[in-house]
Amino acid sequence: MRTIGHEQIMQKFETREYRISGMDCQDCVRHVRNAIVSLDGVEDCDVYLASERAVVRGAAPGDALEQRLRKAVAAAGYSVVEEQADQRLSQARAASRRVLILLAAVALFVLLVVILGEWLGLLDGITDRIPWYVSALLIVWIGRRPLLQVLRSALRGQVISHSLMTVGALAAALAGEWATAAIVVIFMRVGAYTEGITADKSRRALRELSGMAPQTARRLGSNGEELVPADSVAVGELVLVRPGEAVPVDGEVVAGHAFVNQAAVTGESEPVEALVGRELFAASLVSGGAVTLRATAVGVDTTFGTVVRLVEEAEANRSDVQRVADRFSGYYLPLVAAIAAATWWIGGSLQATIAVLVVACSCSFALATPIAMLASIGAAARQGVLIKGGRYIESLARVEVLLIDKTGTVTTGAPRVTDVVSADSLPVSEDELLQLAADVERYSEHPLAEAVRRAAFDRGLSYRDAEDFLSEPGVGVSATIAGSRVSVGRVQPERLRCEPALLSRGTQLMNEGKSVLMLCRDDQPLGLLATADSVRPGIAAALRQLRTFGIGRIELISGDNEGAVQRIADQLGIAYRSGLLPQDKIALVRDYQQRGLRVAMIGDGVNDAPALAGADVGIAMGAAGTDVAIEASHVALMNDDWASVPLLFGVARRTMRVVMLNIGFTALYNLGGLSLAALGLLPPVVAAAAQSMPDLGILANSSRLVRLKRRPQRER
């Protein structure tokens, strides 16, 4: 028998995306997914409420599966929307916004009149005069959509949020209270609109983020410049971006000069200078010039496309709180049905029983968590903070230990000259020492050589001719300058015995964790150059703010020597661990977790990928343009601004406070409504009007998360 490998199996599956209309909450998501995965030929399906999208993996690709999928989704009470139809729908929504505001004001007025009229008995004379068939027509006309959804779900053995209200309306109609049944159905439709508005609000941040993606590109080819769809550009082709236009692809600047705002990807509003050789991200805005790019990534493969995709998929990583709320929603409707049955059995009041059925709002429990999570994830993404799911927001809010990698995270990874020390026997000025060192290091590729060249450039020193350049690995470099042999390399104590003061100073600098270079001319020590990695700006302020969030343990971890790590840790006032190998970092994460502590780690996302993946929350710093960093981490900071770190933890804590308030408000509201209805104190009409209020409360509370406060300026 021939064995079929995993790759061969995966090749048989085809992935397609469909836009789904009509989903308001996680119950809708579940029903749509169940309808799709029940089809023959469908291997798996992910349905996303925020982007109204279904990603279907099928073993039977083609139009036949698509037709069956459309029918299955329609039978579940929803619809698959074509791209053009979706665009027309979006335009219609925008055009009718003012009309909806006016209708909302009218609806509130009518709601007030109905509630007061019902409680005061003012509607009895009016409703008694309305013929039953008029109410029946209203029920069919206004309630046809939710009633059809309830019927289709019932035929599948499913109970949805409108099932109980439908039973209540039918009970009122069978009892001859046709007007009451009609009013219940009207408010059921109002409730459906409320749920739709609430869900649409959660999609706002994602729509704004997706809307930043440019749709066209100016491609340069043999026929000159042509305007084409952005996703039709091939990797390697040239693209022209004029002032005021958005960069349509990820690409390297090959010609031109401009300033570019990359806030769409990194969250940084300060423009960067785009010179030849610089990598630019799609969705960046060009100003003050024009540039020509060679495309390196296009469409969904760009860094911006990856950000949008991960934000869309973030809702799949649900938090523990959300999973508990979803499970509770499954038990809530049967519980309400039991309360309604008990109300009828104990009190015998049909009015009270109907009120119990219609006042219950199960959708509010399902909306309480994801609305807040999606609002925060979308808003954070616009600030250059990519959170991959609600579970990580919940974990961030409870972090007790924060581990921080040193190189590339706390430090810039680019050493700088910090000390220039001249020998006493042959006093030479600092500028002369730097001049000689830069002349020798001119052609060296060592990172410390770059630090020396940068220091000389900062002082305005120019290079002199150097001959017979020689590089000796592990020793240093040398060259002939003005007839003398000049060398720059590691400290050799035996050559410094004649300079005890210089040797003592060199030992002191090395104990401080600095890298020390010895400069000699014709084998005579002239002085020392000390280099050290510089700390990124804003870290001290960020750490102070993190401590206010209740993070009790902050540690700097690194594979560097103890002196280098201690120097940085002492600057920041935090604990440290040095000489750690990658497996040591993972072991440290697990050790804290075994103690019952929740651990977050911040690293560069490449060398620290295993430890980032093992932490409760792995945070990659400066991940823009780095696919490995974005994919390996749970949270990706698209820039290297440390102000993003307290912003991230602040978002998490604020989001969890909103979630807990949403759940508490929903629970108390429903408990109060059910109690009043069961006691006969809440008429069916008022109960029907009241059932949509929790959605509005959740919407109002969660809307606070859509806009983040401006981040503090980084320290200079």
Q: Which residues are catalytic?
A: 405
Q: Would you say 313 and 378 are in contact if contact means Cβ atoms under 8 Å apart?
A: no
Distances in Å between the Cα of 12 and the Cα atoms of 9, 36, 57, 59, 320 are: 6, 18, 10, 6, 35
Contacts 24+ apart (CB under 8 A), 586-590: 586/610, 586/611, 586/614, 588/403, 588/557, 589/403, 589/614, 589/615, 590/614
DSSP state letter for 712: P
Distances in Å between the Cα of 427 and the Cα atoms of 206, 222, 433, 584 are: 64, 64, 10, 46
Residue type, 183: I
Token code pair at residue 465:
């001719």
Q: How far apart are CA 239 and CA 221, in angstroms?
A: 9
294 φ, ψ to 5°? Answer: -100, 115
Residue type, 9: I
161 Cβ contact partners less than 8 Å away, ≥ 6 residues apart: 25, 27, 195, 333, 361, 362, 363, 366
26 Cβ contact partners less than 8 Å away, ≥ 6 residues apart: 49, 326, 329, 366, 367, 370
DSSP state letter for 578: -
Cα-to-chain-centroid distance, residue 431: 48
Residue type, 229: P
Of the candidates 303, 266, 277, 250, the one whose C-alpha atom is nearest the C-alpha of residue 239 is 250
DSSP 483-527: TEEEEEEE--GGGGTT-HHHHHHHHHHHHTT-EEEEEEETTEEEE
Question: With b meaning 16 or more CB within 10 Å and e meaning fewer, what string describes 206-223?
Answer: beebbebbbeebbbbeee
Cα-to-chain-centroid distance, residue 240: 30
DSSP state letter for 606: S
